[in-house]
Amino acid sequence: MFINRCRQKAGRLLQTVDVRVDGNRPWDIKVQNPRFFPRLFAQGSMGLGESYMDGWWDCERLDQFFFHVLRGKLEDCVHPLSVLPTVLLSRLFNFQKPSRHKIIAEKHYNIGNDLFACMLDRNLNYSCGYWATADNLEQAQERKLALIFRKLGLKPGMRVLDIGCGWGAAAKLAAERYGVEVLGITVSDQQAGYAREVCRDLPVEIRLQDYRRLNETFDRIFSIGMFEHVGYKNYRLFFTTVKRCLAPEGLFLLHTIGNNQTGTTTDPWINRYIFPNSMLPSARQITAAAERFFVMEDWHSLGPHYDKTLMQWYQNFNASWDSLKDIYGNRFYRKWKYYLLSCAGAFRARSIQVWQVLFSHEGILGDFEVVR
């Protein structure tokens, strides 16, 4: 009886966003285990994600399902009590303090370079591509980096800092094409080893280092897809560090996923299974952290480009699964598919964003126009 009531309630909610239980359209869900329905209301996002990993329900097009659900703000209709402890703890504790900075590397970025090599472009860019004039993933990633470097006005001889350098793609391109010297920092030993190898003949240094330990001067600084791991309790410290390290006439570009609303936590399922201790900043949190430190020169919104990027990553991952399945197993496949396609749906629904924000110390004098 209780399961039936939960099923009826879920069916009514899903109908409001044009999703049917056991329907035939690509975005409809097919439920294999009826315990899915009470689990959904008891655990919310966590129950939805874990039950998918467990094979309790399926959907032909998860990206379209999440587009419907998130565009219709259905998450506002489910309020499981299980999330309250996480919200309270996030206000009491700093989950991104220095002693915890390696957790994200161990749980995500060190999973295996073989996985990321199959999924990403050939240079292993793990952030949103720029598709305005691109026909494929390689072009989209290269043009994203070119856009960033044009905004920063890179010139030969400059010293540049890459905060969260990943597998070294940005540092490599900046050194090769713009003649700059680059320091890239990461907390992942897998990324650091790979980046050192691909940049070995270039004026690039790769360090295993937390950003808070930086105390050097750079002409330009950029951070691509790392700010999501900083945490709201550390935003001011992050900008303090950049302020300390940026030369007086320097520029700083922040490329980050952003949240439409100010919060202190991330999606519970994403936090447990994909990006532990992560959270998405709001525009208000970014501007408050940068206030009195920098002048904002430009704010560029790129959210829809991440939908296309994630769909291409999923296609690459899915096409390569036969070479990966013996290493990672079926449960990992369902987890990773859910991650990539749920995020694609979220960007498509404009529930989350991608921002490139350009800062200077005191404001650029004279005629100035940011490139697009």
Examine the domain organization and report whether 206 and 330 are in the same domain. yes
Question: What's the rounded mean pLDDT across residues 49-71?
Answer: 97
Residue 82's pLDDT band, with cuts at 50, 70 and 90, is low
Question: Same domain, yes or no, for 141 and 13?
Answer: no
pLDDT tier at 238, thresholds 50, 70, 90:
very high
Q: Please report whether residue 310 resides in a domain.
A: yes
Active site residues: 343
Report the helix count and the strand count for the chain, using DSSP H and E.
16, 9
User: What pLDDT sits at residue 371?
Assistant: 86
Q: How confident is the model at residue 90 (pLDDT cuts 50, 70, 90)?
A: low
Asked if the structure places residue 182 within a domain, the reply is yes
Over range 223-234, report the average pLDDT. Answer: 97
**Residue 58, domain member (yes or no):** yes
pLDDT score, position 88:
52
pLDDT at 158: 98
Question: Any idea what the CATH number is for the domain that residue 174 is in?
Answer: 3.40.50.150
Helix, coil or strand: residue 246:
strand
Q: Per the domain annotation, does 159 fall within a domain? A: yes
**Residue 86: predicted pLDDT:** 60
pLDDT above 70: residue 87: no
Based on the fold, state whether residues 65 and 160 are members of the same structural domain: no
Is residue 314 scored above 80 in pLDDT?
Answer: yes
pLDDT tens-digit map of 245-293: 999 999 999 999 999 999 988 899 999 999 999 999 999 999 999 999 9
Residues 347 and 216 reside in one and the same domain: yes
pLDDT band at 77 (very low <50, low <70, confident <90, very high): confident
**Are 129 and 259 within one domain?**
yes
The answer, yes or no, to whether residue 96 has pLDDT greater than 90, is no
Residue 128 and residue 70 in one domain:
no
Q: How far apart are CA 267 and CA 274, in angstroms?
A: 10
In the predicted structure, residue 78 carries a pLDDT above the cut 70: yes
Indicate if the pLDDT at residue 224 is higher than 70.
yes
Among candidate residues 344, 306, 370, the one with its CA nearest the CA of residue 66: 344
pTM of the model: 0.95
Mean pLDDT of the chain: 94
Sheet of strand 218-224: strand arrangement = 204-208, 181-186, 159-163, 218-224, 246-259, 352-360, 295-301
DSSP 10-79: HHHHHHTTT--BT-SSTT-EEES-TTHHHHHHHHTHHHHHHHHHTTSEEES-HHHHHHHHHHTTGGGG--
Q: Are residues 266 and 150 in the same domain?
A: yes
Query: Structural domain tally of the chain?
Result: 2
Query: Are 75 and 104 members of one domain?
Result: no
Asked which of 4-13, 313-322, 341-350 is least confident by mean pLDDT, the reply is 4-13
pLDDT at 100: 73
Residue 322: band (very low, low, confident or very high) from pLDDT cuts 50, 70, 90 = very high
Q: Are residues 265 and 127 in the same domain?
A: yes
What's the pLDDT score for residue 91?
60
Question: pLDDT, tens digit, for every residue of 141-192?
Answer: 999 999 999 999 999 999 999 999 999 999 999 999 999 999 999 999 999 9
Asked if residue 84 has pLDDT above 90, the reply is no
Q: What is the pLDDT of residues 299-309, one digit of tens each?
A: 999 999 999 99
| 257 within some domain | yes
The better pLDDT of the pair 91, 302 is held by 302
Q: In this structure, is residue 367 part of a structural domain?
A: no
Residues spanned by the domain of 324: 99-360
Residues 8 and 150 grouped into a single domain: no
Say if 120 falls within a structural domain.
Answer: yes
In a domain, 190, yes or no: yes
